[in-house]
Amino acid sequence: MFDANTFAALVTLTLLEIILGIDNIIFLSILVSRLPAEQRPQGRIIGLALAMLTRLGLLFSLTWIMKLNTPLLTLGGVDITGRALILFGGGLFLLAKSTHEIHQEMESIERKNDSHQPKIKPSFWWIVIQIAILDIVFSLDSVITAVGLVNQLPIMVAAIVIAMFVMMLSAKSINQFIEKHPTIKMLALSFLILIGMALIADALSFHIPKGYLYFAMAFSLSVEFLNIRLHEKKRRAGHHD
The string over 7-18, giving b where at least 16 C-beta atoms fall within 10 Å of a residue's C-beta and e elsewhere, is: eebbeebbebbb
pLDDT above 80 for 222? yes
Residues facing residue 75 across a β-bridge: 78
Report the chain's mean pLDDT, rounded to a whole number: 77
Q: What is the pLDDT of residue 65?
A: 66
Please give the pLDDT value at position 73: 76
Residue 36: closest CA among 106, 127, 109: 127
CA-closest candidate to residue 149, choices 59, 29, 43, 34: 59
Q: Cα 215–217–218 angle (5° rounding)?
A: 65
- Looking at residue 185, its pLDDT comes to 78
Q: What is the dihedral of CA 136, 160, 10, 2, to 10 degrees?
A: -150
Comparing C-alpha atoms, which of 202, 218, 229 is closest to residue 69? 202
User: Residues 6 or more apart from 67 whose CB is under 8 A from it?
Assistant: 82
pLDDT tens digits, one per residue of 194-219:
888 888 888 887 888 777 877 888 88
Stretch 104-118: mean pLDDT, rounded? 62
Measured in whole angstroms, the distance separating CA 72 from the mean position of its chain's CA atoms is 28
Q: What is the dihedral of CA 56, 9, 151, 55, to 10 degrees?
A: 10
Q: CB burial class (10 A; 0-12, 13-18, 19+) of residue 56?
A: middle
Position 31 scores a pLDDT of: 81
Q: What is the reported pLDDT for 118?
A: 53
pLDDT at 109: 58
CB atoms within 10 A of CB 180: 10
Taking 70 as the threshold, does the pLDDT of residue 240 lie above it?
A: no
Residues 145 and 138: their CA atoms lie apart, in Å, by 12
Residue-range domain boundaries for the chain = 4-208
Q: Would you place residue 172 in the very low, low, confident or very high pLDDT band (cuts 50, 70, 90)?
A: confident
CB-CB neighbours of 101 under 10 Å = 21
What band does 112 get if pLDDT is binned at 50, 70 and 90? low
Does 135 score more than 60 pLDDT?
A: yes
pTM over 0.75: no
Averaged pLDDT for residues 71-83? 75
Q: Which is nearest to 161 in space by CA: 3, 58, 64, 18? A: 18
Whether 120 shows a pLDDT value over 80: the answer reads: no
